[in-house]
Structure 1
Amino acid sequence: MSVDANGFVYVADTGNNRIQKFDANGTFISKWNSPNPTGVTVDQFGVVCVAGSGSIRTFDTLGTFIRQWVSIGCRGIATDGEGNVYATDTANDQIKKFTPNGVFITGWGAFGDGDGELNVPGGIAVDGNGTVFVTDAFNNRIQAFSSFSPVPAPFAGFTANVTTGYAPLTVRFNDTSTGDPTSWLWQFGDGTTSGEQHPVKTFMTNGTYTVSLTAGNVGGTNTTVKENYIMVHLRCDFNRNNRIDIGDVAKVAWMAAGLIPQDPEADFDGKGTVDGADAARIAYFYVGKIQAL
């Protein structure tokens, strides 16, 4: 429930999926639809802000829709003297702050029962000094915050679907960062970078590559570095000295002649056996007649 500067009362009628407006004596004035509203507030400019169904919606005092933005888990809602919007995010145990136009400014809070931690935050109010008061439901308390409480920086982390193989090696990287990052900077150890959250990178040449991820949000950045994370081998570099030498050429020839056991690594044409064509191919590569195995 909220009261505007003219004394009109606005009620979030959750079960009926609507907002109702009354005068100061309780006389019904008007109503309008808003799905599953869980909180309503009116700022000093006459903008009615409604939380519910994973979104924040704004209306004028006649119920005319203005705009909407997504805020998953929002329940309670409040505004400050500048029209900024504050919402309790019960899904993530956080408080989120937006501009009047719905642009995210900052957020704070995390699950727990310590100072500044929350467990199902519900109601919220902002006083004239900008202090934010929150009902911390499952911790049975009220907490007060500065409206400028910082959002913590994320903690960067990642995995890869493969970390070793033959060149060219295609690797799918998976961002596992926590703390709601909004930006990503990958460095793959070969001078290339990516700003995608889950990039796919092809390593064209053999070598060992150190990969890093810097994850960021409005609270700052955090970097995780994995030394020598990706190992790319040259196919048929049997002694792993990062080049094809005469010894590797000889081994494939011996395989084709049946003098030593065959290695599928030398089956370049994929016929299921190492034969003369494979021996010729690596020999041509060794002398520079072809550029790829």
Structure 2
Amino acid sequence: MSVMASKSSVGLRASRPAHALFVLPFLTVYVLLLLWPLAKGWFISFHDHDLLSNDSFFVGFQNYRELIEDDVFHQVVWNTIRFVLFSVPVFVGLSLMLALALNRPGKLAAFLRAVFFCASVFSVTLITLVWQLALMPERGLVAQASAAAGIPQLPWLTSDLLALPTLALVTVWWIIGLPMMLFLSALQQIPSDVYEAAALDNASRWRTLTHVTLPALKRTVALVAVIEVIRQFQVFPQIMLMTNGGPNNTTRPIVQFIYEQAFMQLSLGYATAASQVLLAVMLVGVSVQMWLERREAAQGARR
């Protein structure tokens, strides 16, 4: 038996280098599409790189110093953070409520699930065109409905105060389907025995929701929050098409700033430095979100 065991262990040790061949395709794609662009981006951010002439000069931290002194960059960072603060809580709360409401059998619930999810597969061009027509002053659907109800018309896309929240609501309407489906999937993973036990204890619907359903969804809430923080920090196309960063730069996000610096000002080094700042902000946002979730989970476990 010992001889057979030693032979098998020798065979396993001998085959370990061959096991690397199974992960080699993944590692190759991972390095080429993630690690190499990340390293290349850091390298370019320390250079004055002209995209048109392809000339590059090492400038050290000059690009980052200029970003610190750039008032426009300060504003676009604040715009992006505000957009995340507007949209992410709505994404989490509204998608959870929709999932709870539509997590039931029947053709109507299935139809409504399909309706909410189908909006997320539409192109951003179509979505922005529809909402631009709906929010058009005086002749748009929203303006006509406001006039019929006797409500004063609001400058949804031309007001410094209303433009960014309006874009956040449009974004939520557009892609609410994905987080809703994640919550629906998590709800269907909860064992029915738990609800049967709650029913035997004469637990009310509210008590069942707060003591059974929501605790079982903590991981999904954290997952949806992290996904949406990452996605909304990268907001760009709907803002570019609907307001182009206006009015008065109050809706211009970081990604649009990076695009303009790279492809309009042809300053690739400066744009790359801004993209590295965006990466750092995203990492901070995700880290804070995960820390809060872990802290809440730890407090719940102590209780």
What range describes the TM-score normalised by the shorter chain of this pair? under 0.3
Q: Calculate the TM-score normalised by the size of structure 2.
A: 0.20
Q: Calculate the TM-score normalised by the size of structure 1.
A: 0.21
Structure with the larger helix share: 2
Higher relative contact order (CA 8 A, sep 6+): 2
Structure with the larger strand share: 1
